Structure 1
């Protein structure tokens, strides 16, 4: 379960930002998760509840997740397409000279202080 490691990393980052900005309390954190990031949203939120309650800054803070759709670029025809539906083969030209351009991220998008 790598979600717990991700949560610890996020909490460490938020506590550093909170200290730099003299925040007393965070109400919510919005996280962008790539569709093919391998992070299980429900596991992440369960880990968040457990770990955030151990931090004075984050106790009770809500974790909001937004999905970033996975997109692949085809170098043969120059088009992008949905990765999950089509995989590595371009649906436009059937080319296989492709690479993932979005959807593998895990980023903090917004922190709401209260």
Structure 2
């Protein structure tokens, strides 16, 4: 389960932010997670609950996940479309000359702390 490794990385980043800003308690963390990022939200949440409970700064902190839609761009017809719904082939012209514009992000958006 790579979600646990992802959570450890988030906790490391938050620990650093906590030290830099002299935080005593993180109450919640909001993540932006692209729908084709390869991270499973339910597994991430479970891993977060387990790992955050072992960290004094984050014990009891809520993990809020905002899902960002995946959008693909077609080089042939210059259109954008929903990646998950249509995949790599453009639904407008049938071209395979496409690339992902957004939807694989994994970002810490917001931290609520004292």
Please give the per-residue CA displacement for 1:29-75, whole angstroms capped at 9, x wherever unaligned. Answer: 00111111111111111110110111111011000001011110111
Structure 2 gaps of 5+ residues are: none
Tell me how far apart the structure 2 counterparts of residues 36 and 12 of structure 1 sit (CA, whole Å). 24
Deviation at 1:18, TM superposition (A): 0.6
What stretches of structure 1 move > 6 A for 4+ residues in a row? none
RMSD of the TM alignment (CA)? 0.8
Structure 1 gaps of 5+ residues are: none
TM-score, structure 1 normalization = 0.97
**Paired positions, count:** 114
TM-score, structure 2 normalization = 0.97
